[in-house]
Amino acid sequence: MSSRRIWKQYLETLQSAGVTFLPKVHLPEPVPVREKRPRSRSAPAARRSDHAGSSRLLPPEKLQPEKIQPVPMLDATADILNESPETTEQKSEALCRLAEVVAGCRRCSALADTRNQTVFGVGHADAQIMFIGEAPGADEDRLGEPFVGRAGQLLNRIIEACGLKREELYICNILRCRPPGNRNPLPQEAANCREFLDAQIRIVQPEYIVCWGTVAARNLLNEKRPIGRLRGSFHDYEGIPVLCTYHPSYLLRNPSAKKDVWQDMKILMKKLGLPLPE
Ligand code: SF4
């Protein structure tokens, strides 16, 4: 209790005993105590600041990271890999058999219901370089080949500028079925299709991998960093050097990023011993 309150009580005692002409004591107004409400653990995560400094509520499904169900390898894939294909012929045959397995895959039912066909991958079965993109778009879904739309045409020009040939490369995606509306692959879809990507890499055994875009880079490398921080140097996937750069679709929307991709391609060309244009 404060000394001022003790002094007031003393004066009140004197007053009740009949003493008059007592000095007045002014106590400060009591400060109302706000009842503390229990804070939910998820409350801070429920808001995300935007660039304007305000905040907006996130829907509840965004508060918890999606749980990814484990995906056991199919016996058919395991059988193909157990044969350890080594020659170009053996690798071609293994890829054909794996493509048949993929064609019948319905792990992602929403994608399997809406796809025209699976887009397995194309190129040289014994390629020195493997390109990995995100997922088939409308053109790829129609034609059954990765990178054939406008983005694919730009990729072809990049390949030529590097002094490479498309048919010498092996090209595939994180997903083998088109996500409706060209949305990004869901984490579970990427996990479902990972068996086939890993198997293609194990069969082709490329010396270098190039990941085109954030989705490819993050999924292959199990990374959280954005592509802007992953590009520009080599990373590692099971002993294979991996270069990450912007997706050609991004370049179509942001032509100023072409110089960054060209810098990345020069890093690859230097490794390959290809002549660097000025
Ligand atoms: S995306 Fe891959 S895992 Fe999903 S249904 Fe297509 S082939 Fe199967």
pLDDT of residue 276: 81
Whether residue 36 has pLDDT greater than 50? no
253 class by beta-carbon count within 10 Å (0-12 exposed, 13-18 middle, 19+ buried): exposed
Structural domain of 242: 75-272
Domain CATH code at residue 195: 3.40.470.10
pLDDT of residue 14: 55
Taking the C-alpha atoms of 191, 197, 202 and 205 in order, what is their torsion angle to the nearest 10 degrees?
-140
Q: Does 203 fall in a domain?
A: yes
Instruction: Using pLDDT thresholds of 50, 70 and 90, give the confidence band for residue 215.
Output: very high
Give the number of domains in the chain. 1
pLDDT of residue 46: 36
The beta-carbon contacts of 194-199 under 8 Å, at least 24 apart in sequence, are 194/71, 194/219, 195/71, 195/73, 195/74, 195/77, 196/77, 196/98, 196/101, 196/102, 196/105, 196/120, 197/132, 197/172, 199/77, 199/80, 199/81, 199/98
Q: Does 100 fall in a domain?
A: yes
Q: Is the CB of 111 under 6 A from ligand 1?
A: yes
pLDDT of residue 73: 97
Determine the residue of 71, 116, 193 to mutate for testing ligand 1's pocket, defined as the one with the most ligand atoms within 8 A of the Cβ atom: 193
Of 227, 249, 222, which Cα lies nearest the Cα of 137?
249
Q: Does 68 fall in a domain?
A: no
Whether residue 19 has pLDDT greater than 80? no
Q: Is the CB of 110 under 6 A from ligand 1?
A: no
| Predicted confidence (pLDDT) per residue in 139-170, tens digit | 999 999 999 999 999 999 999 999 999 999 99
pLDDT of residue 39: 45
pLDDT of residue 275: 87
Provide mean pLDDT across the span 106-126.
Answer: 98
Q: Does 187 fall in a domain?
A: yes
Q: Does 41 fall in a domain?
A: no
Identify any residues that bridge with 241 across adjacent strands, giving them in sequence order.
Answer: 236
Dist. CA 167 → ligand 1 center (Å): 25
| Predicted confidence (pLDDT) per residue in 228-269, tens digit | 999 999 999 999 999 999 999 999 999 999 999 999 999 999
Angle value at C-alpha 183, between 225 and 149, nearest 5 degrees: 100
Q: Identify the residue whose C-alpha is closest to ligand 1 atom 6.
A: 177
Q: What is the mean pLDDT of the chain?
A: 86
Handedness of CA 228, 66, 53, 35 (dihedral sign): negative
In whole angstroms, give the CA distance from residue 80 to residue 102: 13
Residue 239 token pair: 């002993």
Dist. CA 107 → ligand 1 center (Å): 6
Place of tokens 């199990």: 222
